[in-house]
Homo-oligomer: A and B are copies of this chain.
Amino acid sequence: MQNFEYCNKTKIIFGKETENRVGSEINAVLNEKQKDKRILLHHSGGSAVKSGLIERIKGYLKAENIEWAELTGVQPNPLLSLVKKGVEIAKNEKLEMVLAVGGGSVIDSAKAIAAGALDDGDIWDFFERKRTPQESLPIGTILTIPAAGSESSTSCVITNEEGPWKRGMHSPFNRPVFSILNPELTYTLPPYQTACGITDMMAHIMERYFTRELNVDVTDELCEGTLRAIIKNAKIIFNGGENNYAARAEIMWAGAIAHNGFLDTGRIGDWASHALDHELSALFDIAHGAGLAIIFPAWMRYIVSVCESDNAVMERLARFAEKVWGVNIGDNKNAALEGITLMEDFFKSMSMPVRFSDTNIDPARIPEMAKRVVHFGQIGNFRKLGENDAEAIYRLAAR
């Protein structure tokens, strides 16, 4: 096991009707910091408005004498231009906190605004790894899409439309001070978004699971168990259980667990698939979860093909097939391949794309994507990958 540090200060408020606590939670934060009660209310302007959630939230804020400026228009793969607008508003209006209402895109946008609001330089520096945030406005969230795990993670991913570049920024300041998770708010999600979210949280666990680190039994078990619970409850939701509170609750909590940093304590995750997907999202505006459903099986098949004689790698792939997908291991390679097929079948059962041809991705741009993905150097840790490897993986995804 690797040495590690773990500290996650996000207060999770989970369950039915919990969004009505948002005003008092914000007050608790601002009173402690002796701040004025003016916040940025940040959301997409779409479904949360239609459902009446935003109006209800405004009522909760008013009841606690909290004022707000409102910034809407967040899109999937949230844009730097909107972040810059948010930073400007936060600075001009001297806002004290950012409240994100939505999924990972809204929360990531809020995180970037919160960091930019207390910084005098170019916010994009943080994503180009030139500088790291030294402080941030406190962030609160009301989650409506279980997927990115942004509600208690250190991650923030923003797309700079000038590239376009999709880049991540990791900082302890990115952890929200509180996150409200009410599974009831997810009943009305379109099946596509539910499926993207489930794929995303599974990918977060798999990135952590595929490690070279030996003797990490506890976290191996936590990863496998959480994946099994996700698959079980996803099947319930996709078999008529859209309004099944228990299944929605399991998925919502699993989404946070998948990315709160707990499951990879002591291990070094892979993260090549996330990098490979970022290029799909940047160039073709593919939803993150959908891109991962395409990339992850291709990445695994590539690993099988190039690591066939590496016992440690093949054993881990076979173990994954056994523990998560119930494959009986005879031969490691066959078990690994069967596991990949079962995973792909599962993604397909939720109507996720699993090949470029299921989407608008143009295979002619594979060389360009392979070049872009190694912008910061080789990707991945389970196996280090260069431009040629990336191209081969994209080609497997384009079959």
**Partner-binding segment picked from A9-17, A163-171, A191-199, A303-311:** A9-17
Is the CB of A51 closer than 8 A to any CB of chain B? no
Is the CB of A312 closer than 8 A to any CB of chain B? no
Q: Which residues of the partner chain B approach A189 to less than 8 Å between Cβ atoms?
A: none
Inter-chain contact A225/B221, CB cutoff 8 Å: yes
Please tell me which one of the listed residues B3, B218, B226 contacts residue A254 in the complex, with CB atoms under 8 A apart.
B218
Inter-chain contact A233/B217, CB cutoff 8 Å: yes
Interface residues of A in 218-234 (CB under 8 A from B): 218, 220-222, 224-226, 228-230, 232-233
Inter-chain contact B1/A253, CB cutoff 8 Å: yes
Q: Which residues of the partner chain B approach A224 to less than 8 Å between Cβ atoms?
A: 221, 225
Inter-chain contact B265/A1, CB cutoff 8 Å: no
Q: Which residues of the partner chain B approach A2 to less than 8 Å between Cβ atoms?
A: 15
Please tell me which one of the listed residues B6, B18, B215, B253 contacts residue A249 in the complex, with CB atoms under 8 A apart.
B215
Q: Which residues of the partner chain B approach A315 to less than 8 Å between Cβ atoms?
A: none
Inter-chain contact A7/B12, CB cutoff 8 Å: yes
Interface residues of A (CB under 8 A from B): 1-16, 18, 214-218, 220-222, 224-226, 228-230, 232-233, 245-247, 249-250, 253-254, 257, 262, 265-266
Inter-chain contact B12/A9, CB cutoff 8 Å: no
Please tell me which one of the listed residues B11, B229, B230 contacts residue A7 in the complex, with CB atoms under 8 A apart.
B11
A14: min CB distance to chain B, Å: 5
Report Cα–Cα, A15/B1, bound state, in Å: 8
Please tell me which one of the listed residues B1, B15, B228, B245 contacts residue A246 in the complex, with CB atoms under 8 A apart.
B1
Report Cα–Cα, A7/B177, bound state, in Å: 10
Q: Which residues of the partner chain B approach A8 to less than 8 Å between Cβ atoms?
A: 8
- 28 pairs, CB–CB < 8 Å, chain A vs chain B: A1-B246, A1-B249, A1-B253, A2-B15, A3-B14, A3-B18, A5-B11, A5-B13, A5-B14, A6-B11, A7-B11, A8-B8, A12-B265, A14-B265, A15-B266, A215-B246, A217-B228, A217-B232, A217-B250, A218-B225, A218-B229, A218-B253, A218-B257, A221-B228, A221-B229, A222-B222, A253-B265, A262-B262
Report Cα–Cα, A5/B182, bound state, in Å: 12
Residue of B nearest to A227 (CB): B221
Task: Answer whether A246 and B14 are a contact pair too, CB < 8 Å, given A253-B265, A253-B266.
Answer: no
Report Cα–Cα, A233/B215, bound state, in Å: 10
Q: Which residues of the partner chain B approach A226 to less than 8 Å between Cβ atoms?
A: 218, 221-222
The 5 A-B pairs at the shortest CB distance, nearest first, are namely: A3-B15, A221-B225, A215-B246, A7-B11, A217-B229
Report Cα–Cα, A14/B264, bound state, in Å: 13
Given A1-B14, A1-B250, output 15 extra A-B contacts at Cβ < 8 Å: A1-B15, A3-B15, A4-B14, A4-B15, A12-B265, A15-B266, A215-B247, A215-B249, A215-B250, A218-B253, A220-B229, A221-B228, A222-B226, A225-B225, A262-B262
Report Cα–Cα, A18/B2, bound state, in Å: 12
Inter-chain contact A12/B5, CB cutoff 8 Å: yes
Please tell me which one of the listed residues B6, B214, B249 contacts residue A266 in the complex, with CB atoms under 8 A apart.
B249
A245: min CB distance to chain B, Å: 8
